[in-house]
Amino acid sequence: MTEEMNTVDANVSSSTQLGDSELMQSVMRNNDNLRRDRAEQFVKTIENESEAQLLKLRAELSDLELQRARLLDFGPTNRDDLTVGLSSGKASVLVQKIQDTDLQIHEVSIAYEIAKKRHASWFNRS
């Protein structure tokens, strides 16, 4: 009877070890799946943020270009207007605003191009 108990104990022990091994493998597979899911979600979040930044920079660039066009519309259109504008000092203010807007357009344009190339290289898209 003792021999039978030892055999049963040995069988239970080996099945428990086998169960632990299967459980360990299952847990490892679940961990790998969780890591992969988290990584995919992280990449998707970064991609969405990158696309949002591109849209924001493009909108800012469009607004600045529109602002510049409006400033140019206020500029003198003929020689007489130019003479009056220069003598009154208002032309220098207008020219300064146009130059400032041009500088902002240049800076935002560079930031937009960098963001666009970064997005394309990170996500293999253009």
Q: Please state the domain extents for the chain.
A: 2-123
Q: For 61-118, what is each residue's pLDDT tens digit?
A: 999 999 998 887 765 565 555 555 555 666 677 788 889 999 999 999 999 999 999 9
> What is the model's pLDDT at position 82?
55
CA distance 33 to 12: 31
- Give the pair of three-digit tokens for residue 58: 């493009």
DSSP 124: T
Between these two residues, 2 and 107, which has the higher pLDDT value? 107
- Cβ-contact 72, 57 below 8 angstroms: no
Q: What is 73-97 written as a DSSP string?
A: HHS--SHHHHHHHHHHTHHHHHHHH
This prediction has a pTM of 0.64
- Cβ-contact 45, 110 below 8 angstroms: no
